[in-house]
Structure 1
Amino acid sequence: MASSLETTFSREWLRRGALACALWPLSLLFRGLAAMRRGLYAAGVSHAERLPVPVVVVGNIFIGGTGKTPLTIWLVDALRAAGLRPGVVSRGFGSKDAAPREVGAGSTPAEVGDEPVLIAARTGCPVFVGRARAAAGRALLAAHPEVNVIVTDDGLQHYALARDVEIVLFDGRGVGNGWTLPAGPLREPPSRQRDFTVVNAPQLTAALSSAVAPPGAADGEPWQMRLAGDVAERLGDRNERMTLAELAARAAPPAGQGAGLRVVAAAGIGNPARFFGMLRAAGIAPVELPLPDHHDFQDRPFANIEADFILVTEKDAVKCWQIEECRNDPRIWVVPVSARIDAALADQIVEKLRGRTPA
Structure 2
Amino acid sequence: MGWVTRWVRGGWRPSKDPAREPVVPPVSVSAIYVHPPGSFEREYPRVGDLKYGRENNPTVLGFEEALASLEEGRWALAFNSGMAALSTLVFYEIARGARRILLERLTYGSTRSLLEMVSSITGVEVRLAGPPWESLLDLVCWSDLVIVESMANPTLRVPPLSEVYGEARSCGARVVVDNTFATPVAYRPLEGGARYSLESLTKYISGHNDVVGGSISGGFDDDLEPLWNMRKIMGTIMQPIDAYLAWRGMKTLKPRFEAQSKAALEVAEWLESREKVKRVYYPGLPSHPDHELARKELNGLYGAVVSFEIGGGRGEVFRLLSRLKLVTPSPSFGGVETIISYPAISSHSNLDPVERAELGITEGLLRLSVGLEDVADVISDLSQALSAI
- Same fold, TM-score > 0.5, yes or no: no
Q: TM-score, normalised by structure 2?
A: 0.26
Structure with greater proportional helix content: 2
Q: TM-score, normalised by structure 1?
A: 0.28
Higher relative contact order (CA 8 A, sep 6+): 1
